[in-house]
Amino acid sequence: MPKVAFIFGTRPEAIKCATVINAMKLDRRFEPLVVSTGQHREMLDIALAEFGIRPDIELSVMQPRQTLSQVTYRILERLSGQIEQWGIDAVVVHGDTASTLAGALAAFHHRIPVIHIEAGLRSGNIASPYPEEANRRLVAQIADLHLAPTIRSGENLLREGAPEDRVTVTGNTVVDALHWAAENAPAFAEPALADLKNETRRIVVASAHRRESWGAPMHEIARALVQLSCQENVRVIIPLHQNPAVREVILPYLSNQANITVVDPLPYRNFCSLMLRADIIISDSSGAEEEGPALGKPTLVLRDITERPEAVEAGTARLVGRSTARIVSEATRLLCDPDEYSRMAQPVDAYGDGKATTRVIGAIARYFAAHTERESQLAN
């Protein structure tokens, strides 16, 4: 029975790995081990708890205001000191975070196979998103199995030289998690949102946290949200990221704004309830960029380029950058033009059909079966 370690440290990674971990727990072919780096500890723990998952190992690397180099080094150092003790047969990493890169490197340094979920996303610009584009390209060089969420991401990997038998298009597991959350969506427990069931205003759900949004772009985003909230019959709801680089810029703009509601990051099912209630989603979050279109919610992406072009091409998401004028213009067009709104408010399966977890498990099982067969042939 292969022992497989899932190494991650952020809320999005946890959400996208959770359905795979829980499926693997029920599959007698595998023994999963959950390793939390604690890169975003508080939000990570809440997300895992929703899916009934407790980390088997906690590295607890996070410290206030760490640099990218510091957090990556701390994860790599702690993994390198422990990973051989776990007796694992493979490491699963997801996406493109510091935890992803450090987890893959630690496995590679100890000659442990690396399985990369959500592999092959490419923006075409090594500096955007930063550092995620570089992280995922680096992981692709050492991964033994690439699990791509879309046909395009699979093609990216093949173009870069990944062996065809090591690339599987699975769909994105976030759609699986979204289906589960939507089916189990609770009433709003957050007091500031308790009145949503009777709300008659148009709801704009907004979030921003990416590193490239820090500084001047975050000011532009904040001003845009204030201007939108001043329009007639509009309420802006902002689940605000815990990072000081976000909060210290955003909060001063939002005080005493009657039509803006600021809440702390919501549990995943509550956030899905909020997205279901939204008329428009405005975000730089990769998760929202995938979830909004799947729910049929017009999604304005606070970026200039994206490694997830499928929903943009389908017409349910739109890249609007981070300038105040552009954000306000595009959102106003959706709020005021029913035809334009209807064109974008169409659910699409750009990122999967909700069966990615089954395909991921199948691909990992086939990888181990082929590995066992090769070892048997070598022994004979």
Active site residues: 96, 118, 132, 209, 211, 241
Distances in Å between the Cα of 259 and the Cα atoms of 3, 156, 246, 255, 356 are: 51, 43, 20, 11, 39
Would you call 339 exposed, middle or buried from its count of C-beta atoms within 10 A (0-12, 13-18, 19+)? exposed
**Among 349, 331, 342, 346, which residue's Cα sits nearest to residue 290?**
349
CB distance 47 to 14 below 8 Å: yes
- Tokens representing 160 are 């870069």
Provide the phi-psi class of 241: left if phi over 0, else alpha when psi is between -120 and 50, else beta: beta
* Separation of alpha carbons 335 and 149, rounded Å: 32
The pair of three-digit structure tokens given for residue 369, joined into one six-digit string: 């079966």
Give dist(CA 370, CA 131) in Å, integer. 34
Half-sphere exposure of 283 (CA within 13 A, CB side): 26
